[in-house]
Amino acid sequence: MIKRGSNPCNERRVIMAKVLLTLACLSAVQAIYPDGHFDIATKLTTDNFEAKVKEEVDAGRTFFVRWIASAG
């Protein structure tokens, strides 16, 4: 149903713009991590966190921890 005063052509353009923006964002997210990134990333838990940080710091390496909210 078309509301009085609305322009269906403009509504389609807005929808298309949203779709294109969503697709652009998805491709950008995939480009954040290079191929093979998760082959060298280490999942840290409460059990291995301190030991892993200590190991890297003691070896004089730069260590970056990223917290990502997840269900598990």
pLDDT digit string, tens, across residues 1-35:
555 666 677 888 888 888 888 877 766 655 677 77
Q: Is residue 33 part of a domain?
A: yes
The number of distinct structural domains making up the chain is 1
Q: Is there a domain that residue 28 lies in?
A: yes
pTM: 0.43
Q: Which residues contact 52 (CB under 8 A, 6 or more apart)?
A: 42, 44
Q: Which residue has the higher pLDDT, 39 or 31?
A: 39
Within-domain flag for 71 = no
The residue behind tokens 């990333």 is 41
Residue 63 within a domain: no
Asked if residue 50 is part of any domain, the answer here is yes
Domain residues for the domain of 46 are: 8-58
Nearest CA-CA partner of 37 in 55, 58, 64: 64
d(CA 47, CA 10): 55
